[in-house]
Amino acid sequence: MSEVDAILKKALDGTRLTKEDALLLLEVEGDGILALGAAASRVRERAVGNDVTYILNRNINFTNICTGSCKFCAFRRNAGDADAYFFDIEKIVEMAKEAERSGASELCIQGGLHPDVGIDYYTDMLGALKKSVNMHLHAFSPMEIFYASKKNGHGTKETLALLREAGLDSIPGTAAEILVERVRKEICPEKLSAGDWIKVIKEAHTQGMKTTATMLYGHVESAEEQVEHLSIIRDIQDETRGFTEFIPLSFVHFNAPLYLSGGGKEGSTGMDDLKLFAVSRLFLDNFKNIQASWVKLGRKLSQVALSFGANDLGGTLVEENISRSAGIKIDMVTEHELFRIIKSAGKAPVKRDTVYSHQ
């Protein structure tokens, strides 16, 4: 039996994989990746059966004005740029009402680090939304929470408590990128540190707020650093059980300053994506849900990812400005279309809410 076969057998037997195992799996190439997919599919089936979930939600990126300088980001603008924007709370409430009328159950709200925005804007927004719509508020990355706490002189723990009191239900686990300082220094030196991301996430979990876990891959990181990232989130999940799902996000290079200035790869290839989904499913034995983002992968590859360990397609989103700014052509996906993608992958479509209660 080859070394890779032995690792796959170990995963199928329910034994936890080591970081060395994961690294060896990430070195598999060509048709060997299909065997990883087959093993990941069996493990997925054990975790969630034949169901593939999706959610009706709406994204609101309330501003693209940002004092940050992440080199992978094509979304940010300076105040005063011709295409800079900032939504007032009234507009956000209108967007939310429209989303509720269309049947969405979740608002996913994130924005740039606006120089004039602090905790009051966030809490006022949450309060106004809770008064106007009956929707789950999934909002503000750990970076936004860290930023608000720095600006207002509160600790992140207190900031989280204020947001929760104002109506925050759960938090997107974005801004994680790769949780390794060497990589962060290269792609987002001004962002919160890996240690601070972990701290905010654990504090949110401790206060009863679920979060997602994400990983931005396919830029400057090595396979070892991908594994380190997976291992960090597996450890957090062991401790808190607060992650609802893992969402691998492939780097979109087209308009990213990192790529345009000669750094970073041209994103991942389809085989890299599928391999990462399979390895994530096999390594993250304490995650029930792995999401294939149709926004990042496209409809067709996200469908194939359902045979490589993924069991969720994410949301309808309605508007997603961050990936669009990075250079992907996105139009909205309908529930009918998600249904069709899932059915023709041989799986059972199931509508869910943010915390994976089926609807």
**Which is closer to ligand SF4, CB of 75 or CB of 277?**
75
Q: Is 66 in the site for ligand SF4 (CB under 6 A)?
A: yes
CA 153-159-165 angle, to 5 degrees, is 140
Q: Is 108 in the site for ligand SF4 (CB under 6 A)?
A: no
Residue 151: both structure tokens together: 């600006």
Q: Is 68 in the site for ligand SF4 (CB under 6 A)?
A: yes
Q: How far is the CB of 297 from ligand SF4 (least distance, A)?
A: 20
Q: Pairing relation of β-strands 57-61 and 312-315? A: unpaired
Q: Is 352 in the site for ligand SF4 (CB under 6 A)?
A: no
Q: In angstroms, what CA-CA distances link 351 with 18, 199, 206, 316, 336?
A: 34, 32, 27, 11, 11
294-323: contacts with ligand SF4 (CB under 6 A) = none
Binding segment (CB under 6 A) for ligand SF4, from list 9-17, 23-31, 73-81, 280-288: 73-81
Q: Is 75 in the site for ligand SF4 (CB under 6 A)?
A: yes
Q: How far is the CB of 74 from ligand SF4 (least distance, A)?
A: 8
Q: How far is the CB of 235 from ligand SF4 (least distance, A)?
A: 25
Q: How far is the CB of 281 from ligand SF4 (least distance, A)?
A: 27
Q: Is 28 in the site for ligand SF4 (CB under 6 A)?
A: no
| Number of other residues whose CB lies within 10 A of the CB of residue 185 | 11
Binding segment (CB under 6 A) for ligand SF4, from list 65-73, 214-222, 287-295, 328-336: 65-73
241-260: contacts with ligand SF4 (CB under 6 A) = none
Q: How far out from the chain centre does Cα 177 lie? A: 9
Rounded distance, CA 53 to CA 205, Å? 23
Give the residue carrying structure tokens 């006022």.
124
Rounded distance, CA 281 to CA 215, Å? 14
**Which is closer to ligand SF4, CB of 56 or CB of 194?**
194
Q: How far is the CB of 138 from ligand SF4 (least distance, A)?
A: 17
User: In the set 113, 204, 282, 305, which binds ligand SF4 (CB under 6 A)?
Assistant: 113
User: What does the per-residue mask of binding to ligand SF4 show for 123-162, with x meaning CB under 6 A?
Assistant: --------------------x-------------------
- The kind and range of the H/E element at 272 are helix 270-283
Q: Is 277 in the site for ligand SF4 (CB under 6 A)?
A: no
User: In the set 73, 216, 233, 295, which binds ligand SF4 (CB under 6 A)?
Assistant: 73
106 - beta bridge partners?
57, 136
**Which is closer to ligand SF4, CB of 73 or CB of 345?**
73
Buried b or exposed e, range 210-224, using 16+ CB within 10 angstroms: bbbbbbbbbbbbebe
User: In the set 22, 28, 70, 284, which binds ligand SF4 (CB under 6 A)?
Assistant: 70
Count residues near ligand SF4 (CB under 6 A): 9
**Which is closer to ligand SF4, CB of 44 or CB of 71?**
71
**Three-state SS at 7:** helix
Rounded distance, CA 333 to CA 61, Å? 18
The answer to whether 227 and 23 are in contact (CB under 8 A) is: yes
Rounded distance, CA 304 to CA 313, Å? 11
Give the residue carrying structure tokens 């041209």.
266
Residue type, 327: G
Interface with ligand SF4 by CB under 6 A: which residues? 66, 68, 70, 73, 75-76, 112-113, 143
